[in-house]
Structure 1
Amino acid sequence: MAAARHPEGVLNNRWILLIGGSIIATNAIVVGTMLLGISVFISHFLYIPVILTAYRYPKKGVAVSAALALVYFTAHELLLAPPLLETFVAAGRSGMFVVIGGVVAFLSGRIRSKEEQYRAVVEGQTELICRFLPDGTLLFANDAFSRYFGKNPQDLIGTVFRPEIPGDDRPAVTAHFAALTQNHPAGMIEHRIVMPDGRIRWQQWNDHAFFDEAGHPCQYQSVGRDITDRREMEEALIQSEELYRTIFETTGSGMVMLDRDGTMLLANEELESQYGISRRNLIGTNAWQQFIAPEDRDRVLDLFSRRFTEADTVPRSYEARFLDASGMPRDMILTVSLLPGAQRSLVSLLDITARKQAERLIEVANAINTLIVRERDAGMLLGQACRELSYLDRFLVAAIAEGNEDSLREPFLSDDSYKEQIAALFTTPELAGAVKSCTPALVPTGDPAISCAFAIPMCVDGRLRGVMLVCLLSGSALGEQDLDSLQVLANDLAYALKMIDLEDQKRDAIEQIEKNMEQFSILNDHIRNPLQGIVGYADLKGGEVAERILPFADEVNRIVNLLDNRFLESETIRDFLLRHYNIKIRRKP
Structure 2
Amino acid sequence: MLWFTLESAVDEVYWLNAVGTVRFANHTATRNLGWARKDLIGMNIASFQRDMPEGEFLVPLNLSLVDVEGEEVFEAVHVRRDGSIYPVSVHRREFPGEGDLKYLVFARDTAHRHEYARQLKQAETEKTMILNAIHENLVLYDQDFRIVWANDDPAESSGHSPDELPGRLCYELFYGREAPCEGCTVQRVMETRTPITEERRLLNGKFVKISAYPVFADTGELIGVVESCLDISKRKHAEKRYRELFSTMQNGFVVLEHYSGTDTDGDDLVFLEVNPAFEQLSGRCETELIGNTCRSLFPERETIISRYAAVAKTGESMVFDDYNPIFNRHFCIQAYSPKKGQVAALYTDNTEIVNLNEQKKQSLIQIERNFEQLAILNDEIRNPLQVIIGLSLLSPAEESEKILSQAYVIDKLVNKLDQRWLESEKIRDFLRKHYAYA
TM-score band by shorter chain is: 0.3 to 0.5
- Look at both structures and tell me which one has the larger radius of gyration over its CA atoms: 1
Q: Which has the higher strand share?
A: 2
Taking structure 2 as the reference length, the TM-score comes to 0.45
Taking structure 1 as the reference length, the TM-score comes to 0.36
Q: Which has the higher helix share?
A: 1
Which structure has more relative contact order (CA 8 Å, sep 6+)? It is 2
